[in-house]
Structure 1
């Protein structure tokens, strides 16, 4: 239920703000607004102060909205109301009205990011777990327990890393730009500062997702290899493992952190058979040796080992919070960076340099909306800001059914001095609808594939 609530709340806020941008600028330009609708289909709620004022409605299908303005191209307009017709307004006003929706979403993102930064969030400290063997991070010399303090594109200008989320964001951007990234790291105590170069220009970044991070070598944040809860009656309990045991080695291979412990347990069932493992643990200062035989279970089409315990302690977290002016600056910067990254990713998908699997639809939005609502207000605000950026950028694409398509019409009109003909408007509209239907179908397919574990 929380996912449905989060999804409806997210769409409701973003649609209202987007359409309010159109509405507010239209009214400021003297255009008569006939209807302000949130959603499509059957009207659930309606309010109109007077017969001559704007009608505000809430409809049953909350997947969009619209602002209907007085326009001679849609219906006859009385002579005494021609001054309020949209089509009678000068080009710059029509352009401002159309652009106001996406701009409202981008401004909302700045506000939401800023509010999230002001409130503060608890995020994993940028202390890295053991890098994947053979990955870029492993070959570059990063080790479990390395604490990332700053990143740089050129080794001259450095940017502080406040959390693991900061680090992942910097790595993601560098990977999309196909350029190396330099890290300034220390040990967990803050000693032994050194610089490590990640050659991110050497990897294929069609998909910047969890698998890409695995290839780069950035897994989970560091956690102590100390056992958490042991499920009664499970393989770990039967073998004699206890909560609080510090794992020293498995099959004589040292266990460095909770992430490598988790990977080793899962790999024990990789060939489909339960392979007994020889464990050494530290229990209250003495070494205990145990034999642990996992259960073999299916997970996303693969067989993995499970021993029914919590492998490792919780990550160390830091509270990331910004002051008033720094929060505003960071909110604006994050909105700009995400907008640029979104445009670049869409461009790469068009020319085939990025996978179409990066497109997400309503099911993914609902999933993340529900998760962020559970985590708390600052996390939900951050999620809402990300979706608002995506909506703002998407609506600026030069597709006829979107705001960006109308802006292209106005650009043509400004250059040629005459509007696009009705014939071409109809053709472009049909083409735009077809493209949007294909994009929506692909996004929904990706959503379902992710839910079924096919991606």
Structure 2
């Protein structure tokens, strides 16, 4: 997680802060999701009987109008109980239950006292105009979809607020890590003469302060000749100690983007993250390990290390790493996968070991209101695409199920993000909100996505799916969901115990 200047990024924090941060994250996101259902239901005339944050026994509540507002004991979900929606089905969809009055369950889950009213007799017809099931399909789709829509909207607003108040997070470095010559447009080949390890000092009339401004200059400067200045000093791995090269900024926007992508910032060959169940995990690599050699070939920065691994699918290799001042040799066999080579673009079998680099320090680039809105939209879309692609990789076996995390992971990262600062905390909440939205759209009957499938079938067939069928599929979906939760919880416990 990135941090503002002077911060220290994600770090451990007291247990009290972790618990409080977790409750805030879950409480806010559940409230936002259920508020979407609530507002949508009210907008189409559906009567809402209960709005609950949390599951299980009622801790606090009050009655206002037709709706009972409740805070329940277990902060792992919430629900909106709508009139005319079968209680059992609603329990499966939202994770809550409104027990019938007069049952023993009333004692364990008491309703807030309501104003005295004259109860209808056995022969009195019940007014069903406010029932969920009495509304047309489009209205019910709107009600069910609104929770997910609110989660996406919350993420967009949070990312926009972070960008507007603090800025966008950019690598706080000017050191050149690589020049991808295959991406250079005509007139820009001189960029390959910039020494690896050099510090960029100027691009035309601009003096960049961080890598975001390097990228911005290459994208925004007028087309034509421009001088790229650098000061290498002792940091340079190759080439002269200082100097300049001249390139021609292309007219075409696509060519400009390729040039900006060709110039990459320096990343030290230090492990910043390890995916569980991967070759890196099995080989004994740890976060903080510095990669020194691969099969006797020296490693100075992250990009060459990535290339070495990609060129060694299913080939046993020896890594020399530095850990706590000591040098260790680890044997590792990269896995293999068909994919696009990120350096050449060709589809081939590439090696993967499941590691991420330790990112450089972060600088915050100020953005104006319009740019902040654009940033919020792009960030929300980019994270959405990333999560959807990850779910696809889970289905196809390209990603390990051990990457799934439970409430334990959420709590751990919530505490770390809270300790890092408000922008990190808001950014994490936005990320988790998108996760919640996408997971709720999965076609599992206990989730919003499953209910949308039922409504789609009703629209096609012209009649609703029977309560019996919904209950049957809801039970299957409930088992699937519990299985996923147990798997995620098991992953966290294995990670905590180093398994």
Equivalents in 2 of 1:432, 1:68: separation in Å? 20
Separation (CA, whole Å) in 1 of partners of 2:71 and 2:152? 24
Query: Separation in 1 of the partners of 2:196 and 2:441?
Result: 43
RMSD over aligned Cα atoms: 4.1
- Secondary structure of 1:364's partner? helix
Structure 2 partner of 1:118: 164
Contact 1:124 1:163 in 2 (8 A): no
Cα distance in 2 for residues equivalent to 1:92 and 1:256: 55
- Counterpart CA distance in 2 for 1:372 and 1:186 is 37
Indicate the residue corresponding to 1:41 in structure 2. Answer: 56
Residue number among 38, 41, 59 corresponding to 1:26 in the alignment: 41
Q: What is the Cα deviation at residue 377 of structure 1?
A: 1.0
Name 2:389's counterpart in structure 1. Answer: 344
Q: What's the CA shift string for 1:179-204, capped at 9, x where partnerless?
A: xxxxxx98577955896989xxxxxx
| Contact 2:52/2:80 (8 A) holds in 1 | yes
TM-score (norm 1): 0.62
- Contact 1:127/1:188 (8 A) holds in 2: no
* Corresponding residue for residue 59 of structure 1: 72
After TM superposition, the structure 1 = structure 2 runs for residues 230-379 of structure 1, keeping only pairs within 5 Å, are: 264=322, 266=324, 268-270=326-328, 317-379=362-424
Tell me the secondary structure at the aligned position of residue 409 of structure 2: helix
**CA shift at 1:125, angstroms?**
1.5
Q: 1:316 to 1:72 in 2, by over 3 A?
A: closer
How many residues align? The count is 326
Classify 1:127/1:263 alpha carbon distance in 2 versus 1 (closer, same or farther; 3 Å): farther
Question: Structure 2 vs 1, CA of residues 452 and 119 (structure 1 numbering), >3 Å: closer, same or farther?
Answer: farther
Q: Answer yes or no: is 1:415 the counterpart of 2:460.
A: yes
* Cα distance change, pair 8–130 in 1 and its aligned pair in 2 (3 A): same
Aligned ranges 1:88-127 → 2 under 5 Å: 88-120=134-166, 124-127=171-174
Contact persistence 2:171–2:212 (CA under 8 A)? no
Report if aligned partners of 2:405, 2:491 keep a CA contact under 8 Å in 1.
yes
- What TM-score, normalized to structure 2? 0.57
Cα offset, 1:421, TM superposition: 2.6
**C-alpha spacing 1:381/1:256, structure 2 compared with 1 (3 Å):** closer
Structure 1 runs not aligned, ≥5 long = 132-140, 150-159, 167-184, 199-207, 223-252, 273-313
What is the CA–CA distance in structure 1 between the aligned matches of 2:443 and 2:30, rounded to whole Å?
20
Question: Secondary structure of the equivalent of 2:328?
Answer: coil
Q: Which runs of 5+ in 2 are unaligned?
A: 1-15, 88-99, 102-119, 179-193, 203-209, 216-227, 233-242, 248-258, 263-271, 282-286, 291-297, 306-319, 331-358
